[in-house]
Structure 1
Amino acid sequence: MKISFKKIAFLLGLIAIVTQVNAQTAKWDSTYRPGKYVEQVSKFKAEQTSKKDYVFLGNSITAGTDWAKLLNLPQAKNRGISGDITFGVLERLQDIIDGKPKKVFILIGINDISRNIPDSLILRNYKLIIDRIRKGSKKTQIYFNTLLPVNASFGKFKNHYGKDDHILYINSEIKKLAAKKVTIIDLYQEFLDKDNHLKAELTKDGLHLIPEGYQVWAKFLNSTEYLH
């Protein structure tokens, strides 16, 4: 059977379109772990735990302060790992569950967004985190933070910028987790400027907070019942 030049041209064009679409499809990797992940997890394992602990679980934004000093709360434990994603939290979650902490404050997901992990998987992982804590440590109270805004004007974390729609969507879905009897802490609004960006005076690079940023966070928490 002979194929006309028109059909060949059509097929080649179709292949070119498919190739272009595939090239534009964002790649992502659930196995990614930050360079110091194993070291940090080992360090956490070595620390004593108590059923009175208030665990702050997340990535570099959580890791960036001493929660015990910031909140004048000796039982506060920092379980933030810089660069971590939801899959990394799930991998190390059992150690936290085994400690049977009084409360867990979770802020995770911005690095997932920066690494092009689909929103649906981020949300699935949120639910897995909640369900596993519920199953393994029934008395632990779970607090889920909305993601903070970013500020692209600093130009330092380009993979995190230009994805405001993802942040807003994820935050809207986080608020729905209240149906799972999880307390939602809407941090996003506390750090937002008039242009819907992370307030420049609270960050050093458009993503991470400076001490003044953590003071805003602490003031907000202290104005609630979350720390009682």
Structure 2
Amino acid sequence: MHIWPRKKWIVVSGVAVCALILSFAAGFASAYRMGFIYRNTIRAVRWVMPFRPDNDVVWRVQSQLFRQQPLEGDVTFLGDSLIAFGDWRILLPGYSIQKRGIAGETTAGVRERLERGEKILPVVAVMIGVNDPMQGIPLAQTKDNLKAIVHMLRGRRIILLSTLYTGFDYTNAAVTQMNRYEAELCKTGACIFVDLNKAMSSGGRIRPEMAIDGVHLGWRGYYTWAAQMGPVLAQ
């Protein structure tokens, strides 16, 4: 049995206590401060415990389950919590959606899942990227992962969805660069780029009525997203 060094336990315990205090304080903070707390808590945790696929129980279990499940449906929705939290049976009743979203997922995580043989249908919609800047992942690495993801999905009809803006400016600057890169990737003919931000964002920020906490979507956000997807899936 592996035993962590005493110093690491002290650091982990300190981070956990700080996270609890910051979470309590967030209830009294402004939206900007909430974003600051969310971002820095995630970065602190990742500094102490860097993401390694086999050490992350949620990622390990869900990705293995996705590899084992039968390949059924019309379209795979691949990505992070924005995919995972949507009730696509209600949102897109005319389609059988194979949902492959993991909360907290990054472009590196999706790339790893595909490298390990995750099962994907001939039509796939990809929504990924917003967690990268929140975890301090360099933009160059995000772009490299996006390119690899599109390459590994080749031979399928790939619908690359724009990374959604958030309510936090520190994330949105990187999101703007991601979306430009995603659009350029699809100009090569490798994928179809769908800019959801046109309907869901304004002035480089997600519209308040679309999101619950500046990142995760409410019902109106999902309804608007589905309305943009319908015509694309019907093509």
Shorter-chain TM-score: which interval? 0.7 to 0.9
Residues 191 and 74 (structure 1), Cα distance of their counterparts in 2 relative to 1, 3 Å cut = closer
What are the equivalent positions in structure 2 for 1:1-228 lying under 5 Å apart?
31-33=51-53, 35-50=57-72, 53-94=74-115, 99=119, 101-134=121-154, 138=155, 140-152=156-168, 161-181=169-189, 182-193=191-202, 195-222=203-230, 224-228=231-235
In 2, distance between residues paired with 1:100 and 1:56? 9
Regions of 4+ moved over 4 Å? 26-30, 32-35, 94-97
Change (3 A) 1:69 1:131: same
How many angstroms apart in 2 are the aligned matches of 1:70 and 1:164? 26
Q: Distance in 2 between matches of 1:73 and 1:226?
A: 10
> Is the 8 Å Cα contact of residues 67 and 117 (structure 2) preserved in structure 1?
no
Q: Deviations over 1:98-134 (max 9, x none)?
A: x451211111111111111111111111111111121
- Cα distance between partner residues in 2 of 1:79 and 1:119: 24
Q: 1:166-189 CA deviation, whole Å, 9 max, x = no partner?
A: 111111111101233110010122
User: Contact conserved, 1:149 with 1:192, CA < 8 A, in 2?
Assistant: yes
What runs of 5+ residues in structure 2 fail to find an aligned partner? 1-42
TM-score (norm 1): 0.73
Larger-gyration structure (1/2): 1
Is the helix fraction higher in 1 or 2? Answer: 2
User: Cα–Cα, structure 1 residues 101 and 94, in superposed 2: closer, same or farther, change >3 Å?
Assistant: farther
Distance 1:208 1:114 in 2: 13
Q: Per-residue CA shift, 1:119-151, capped at 9, x if unaligned?
A: 1111111111111121xxx2x101111111111
Could you tell me how far apart the structure 2 residues matched to 1:77 and 1:206 are? 26
Aligned residue identity for 2:146: Y
Is the contact made by 1:143 and 1:184 (CA closer than 8 Å) also made in structure 2? yes
* Cα distance in 2, alignment partners of residues 82 and 208 from structure 1: 10
**Relative to structure 1, is the Cα distance of residues 74 and 95 closer, same or farther in structure 2, using a 3 angstrom cutoff?**
farther
AA in 2 matched with 1:214: Y
Deviation, 1:74, is 4.4
The question of whether the paired residues in 2 share the 8 Å contact of 1:59 and 1:83 is answered with yes
The equivalent residue for 1:19 is none
- Whose RCO is larger (CA < 8 A, sep 6+)? 1
What is the distance in 1 between the residues matched to 2:218 and 2:133?
A: 22
SS in 1 for 2:206: coil
Change (3 A) 1:123 1:226: same
The 3-state SS of whatever aligns with 1:173 is helix
In structure 1, stretches of 5+ residues that fail to align are: 1-25, 153-160
TM-score by length of 2: 0.71
- The count of corresponding residues between Structure 1 and Structure 2 is 187
The CA deviation string for residues 53-102 of structure 1, in whole angstroms up to 9 with x for no partner, is 301011011111122332014421110100011111011115666x4512
CA RMSD of aligned residues (A): 2.4
User: Cα 1:191–1:212, aligned 2, differ >3 Å: closer, same or farther?
Assistant: same
For 1:105 and 1:96, the matched residues in 2 are separated by: 17
The letter of the residue matching 2:92 is L
